[in-house]
Amino acid sequence: MSYFHVEVCAHCGKESNESVKLKNCTACRLVKYCSVDCQRAHRKKHKKACKKRVAELKDERLYSQGQERPERDFCPICTLPIPLPMEDHSIFKVCCMKRVCRGCEVAACKKGMFDCAFCRTPRHESDESANVARAINLWNEAVELGSIDAHFNLGHVYLKGKGVAPDEARAIQHWESAAMRGHVEARANLGALGYNKGNDERAVRHHLIAAKLGDKTSLDNIKDMFMEGVATKTQYTEALKGYQESVDEMKSPERDEAKKSW
C-alpha cells in the first residue's frame, strides 16, 4: 500500500486542489492556509510554534553566514587579508576610501612614494571635528546602502548610548547584521555579550567563528572558556587550528618589515 502526502489548511483542514490554493505561513513556513481568515483564526494556536521556528531560522542564518572575511578586510595592493585588529595593521585612506596594510605603506615609502600608496593622492591633514549626531545620520544612511562598518559603529552607539538612548537589543541587531557579512569584531562583540549574559553556548559559537577568522581575543576567550569547562576540547582545538591558518594567510615579507618600523 502506498501513501501520499496531502497538504491541508492548518485551521480548517481543506485539502489543496485546483480550486484551493494553500499558502505558507510567511514567517515560519511550517504550516499552510487556504485563506487569510483561516490564518487569522489559527494565529493564537500557532503563535508559539511560529515564534520558536522563526528564532531557529534566524540562528541558522546567524551562525552559517559571515564565516569568510569581506573584501574590505583585504589590502587592495597586496590583496592579502589584513591582520586584526585592522586599525593596528593598516591605514584608512579617506582619499580613496581604501584600507592599506602597513606592509604596503612602508614599502611605498621606501621607494620614495609618500602620497597615498593606492591612489597617489597627496597627503593632507584633516581638521574635521567629531560630530556624533551627524555621524549617526551618516551611518544610518550607510546602513541603507549596505555598509557593514556602519552597522558595527551603530552597534557601539546604541550599546553605550552615545548620542542616542542606550538600546542593547538594537546594538545586537546591528552587530548581527555585520557579523553575518563577515565583520569579525562585530562577531567577537556578540560572543562577549553572550558570555556576560550567561549564554555560554552562543558565546562559544560566536568566538569560534571569530577566532577562525583571525581574532586573537576570541581565541583567548575560547581558551578561557575551555579552562572553565564551558567550551569543549574539540572546540578549542578547532579554534586554535583555524586561527593559526588565518594568521599564516595574512603574513608577508613586507608586513614583517613594517613591524620593525612602528
Q: What is the rounded average pLDDT of the residues 241-247? A: 97
pLDDT in the model for residue 190 = 98
Residue 71's SS3 state is: helix
pLDDT digits over 143-177, tens only?
999 999 999 999 999 999 988 999 999 999 999 99
Of the CA atoms within 13 Å of residue 67, those in its CB half-sphere come to 12
CA dihedral 125, 129, 131, 134 (to 10 degrees): -40
**What's 83's DSSP letter?**
P
User: What's the rounded mean pLDDT across residues 238-253?
Assistant: 97
- Give residue 2's pLDDT: 46
Average pLDDT, the chain: 92
In the chain the first and final C-alpha atoms are separated, in Å, by 77
pLDDT of residue 128: 41
Rounded distance between C-alpha atoms, residue 257 and residue 40, angstroms: 66
Give the C-alpha separation, 149 to 161, whole Å: 18
Q: Find the length of the chain.
A: 262
Q: Is the pLDDT of residue 242 over 70?
A: yes
In degrees and rounded to multiples of 5, residue 60 shows phi and psi of -60, -45
pLDDT at 124 over 80: no
Sign of CA dihedral 169, 142, 152, 166: negative
Contacts of 88 (CB under 8 A, 6+ apart): none
Q: What is the pLDDT of residue 262?
A: 66
CA separation, residue 228 to residues 38, 197, 202 (Å): 51, 16, 16
Helix ranges, the chain (H): 36-64, 86-89, 102-110, 132-144, 148-160, 168-179, 184-196, 200-212, 216-227, 233-249, 253-259
One-letter amino acid of 101: C
Q: Dig out the grid coordinates for 97 from the structure.
A: 576610501
Helix (H) or strand (E) holding 20: none
What tens digit of pLDDT does each residue of 210-229 get?
A: 999 999 999 999 999 999 99
pLDDT of 68-101, one tens digit each? 999 999 999 999 999 999 999 999 988 888 999 9
What's CA 152's distance to the chain center, in Å?
Answer: 8
The torsion angles phi and psi of 245, rounded to 5 degrees, stand at -65, -40
One-letter amino acid of 30: L
Residue where the block lists cell 615579507:
253
66 neighbors 87 (Cβ within 8 angstroms): no
With bands split at pLDDT 50, 70 and 90, how would you rate the model's confidence at 251?
Answer: very high
CA angle at 19 for the pair 17 and 22, rounded to the nearest 5°: 60
Confidence of residue 129 (pLDDT cuts 50, 70, 90): very low
pLDDT band at 260 (very low <50, low <70, confident <90, very high): confident
